Amino acid sequence: MESLTEHRRVSGPVVYGFLRLVNVSTAREAALKRSLAEYCRQHELSLSGVFTERVIKVSSAAFTGLMDTLDVPGTYGVVLPSASHLGPRAIAAARGKRITATGARLLLVRKELPGLARRRCPGHGGPQARRRGHGSAPVLEAES
């Protein structure tokens, strides 16, 4: 009798990692590469390589190499620790569009919630801190 699929080595969709590492320690680089590998393992993806950008430029050899691999038949997508690894906001937006225009998926290990980076926590300045202690507080229902 044959083994179940879960007991056989089956390769998942092929993805490539991309890291933007400017002034980053080797320990941090290793941790980021492990996070990409773990994400791919959990989602049954085959991480075929990781492109690493170490310079601050609009055009880099690492990104050009990544774009070239996306033309290879069978490539599913690009995995990143977060969107910030594509570069500063304007560059990241343009690069994200270029990647998705190839038909590849853009996969983020750590998704950023919309508006979270711009919002301040209560008590740390801003309008939220001025309103603190005024008005009614929401009441949560008790569990039965």
Tell whether the model's pLDDT for residue 133 goes beyond 80: no
E strands within 1-144? 14-20, 46-53, 75-80, 105-108
Band of pLDDT at residue 139, cut at 50, 70 and 90: very low
Domain ranges in the chain are 12-108
- For residue 18 the two structure tokens come to 């991309």
Tell whether the model's pLDDT for residue 142 goes beyond 90: no
The string of pLDDT tens digits covering residues 61-112 is 999 999 999 999 999 999 999 999 999 998 999 999 999 999 999 999 997 6
The string of pLDDT tens digits covering residues 2-56 is 555 555 565 789 999 999 999 999 999 999 999 999 999 999 999 999 999 998 7
Q: What class is the 12-108 domain?
A: alpha beta
C-alpha–C-alpha distance, residues 57 and 53, integer Å: 9
Q: What pLDDT score was predicted for residue 12?
A: 80
Q: What pLDDT score was predicted for residue 5?
A: 53
Angle at 15 between CA 23 and CA 101, to 5 degrees: 90
Band of pLDDT at residue 130, cut at 50, 70 and 90: very low
